Amino acid sequence: MAKSSANHGHCSQAILKSLESIVSIFFAFCAFSAFSATPAHAQKALTRAVDARLDAAPYNRQLWGVALIDDQGKLLYGRNQDRLFIPASNTKIIVTAVATALMPPDWTVKTSVYSDGRIDAGVLTGDLVLYGRGDPTMTHHCYAVDTTVAGSCDVDALAKLRALADSLKAHGIRVVRGDLIGDGSYFEPQIVHPAWEAYDLNWWYAAPVSGLGFNDNSIDIKWGPGLEPGAPAQLSFTPDLGDVTLENRTATQSLPGDDIDFFREPSTLHLWAQGSVSSSSKGGTEYFALPDPNL
């Protein structure tokens, strides 16, 4: 299920258009070189075309690292190809492809519940530990191109946790006389990269990464216009587990256009919304990251 935010994104449209242009140039080169008797001439044409694109405004204000290679690994075009760059977010496509190739089709992620306490007459005396190993499906996603097909989407992020609770009940546990502990230590302890921008940490695409995750480690905030101009915008969020506060500092305006944004006090569960929403707005949904997946 694709997610988007009204005021934020990974890349500017200019950069995306430039990347699309480079890809188009590359495919044009492939077609040209297939019929050219002089591959060296075709490669020079590719170099001129890509250089002309990257040296033109506004792309000449960026530092580019480009490596275009053929299916034999031969470098066809390079610019700063040996320099180190922060990987782009689409690197996860490569990681996912490799994982798909290496893992068997029936491989599943295991989420466990542990306790060293005694069970007596349905009462567990001791803590109950929910131990995650990176299951990304405790959320509401779609897993088919046609999302209208029955069973192609998870519509309830809590469904798998309810199934786990039913399993505990089937094993005779009715009451827990201890703490419920979320343990995501199966992954490395660093859940947020220090190079990520502070503002991005508010959003689902930069949510903390932990062995235990739920709802993409985010909450879904729905917003829309208030009942009348001057009234606060209407806000709600799910899942509401009682530990997140959302302060409303917004106003509804009669003019067209929305200018609403969301913030969080660093490392806390106190959020606030500020800005304005047009009275004619259809509203939207923002996916806001939380700082502690285990909690």
Over its length of 295 residues, how does the chain's per-residue pLDDT go in tens digits? 334 444 444 445 555 566 666 666 655 555 445 545 467 777 888 888 889 989 999 889 989 998 888 888 889 899 999 999 877 778 889 888 999 899 998 999 999 999 989 999 999 999 999 999 999 889 988 888 898 888 888 888 899 999 999 999 999 999 999 999 999 999 999 999 888 888 999 999 999 999 999 999 999 999 999 999 999 999 999 999 899 999 999 999 999 999 999 999 988 999 999 999 999 999 999 999 999 988 8
Q: Considering all CA atoms of the chain, what is the largest pairwise distance in Å, rounded to the nearest integer?
A: 84
In which residue are the tokens 């297939």 written? 34
- Six-digit token pair at 42? 């075709």
Question: For residues 6 and 29, what is the distance between their CA atoms, to the nearest angstrom?
Answer: 37
Query: What are phi and psi for residue 292, nearest 5 degrees?
Result: -130, 95
Burial call 189-211: b when 16+ CB within 10 Å, e when fewer: eebeeeeeeeeebbbbbbbbbbb
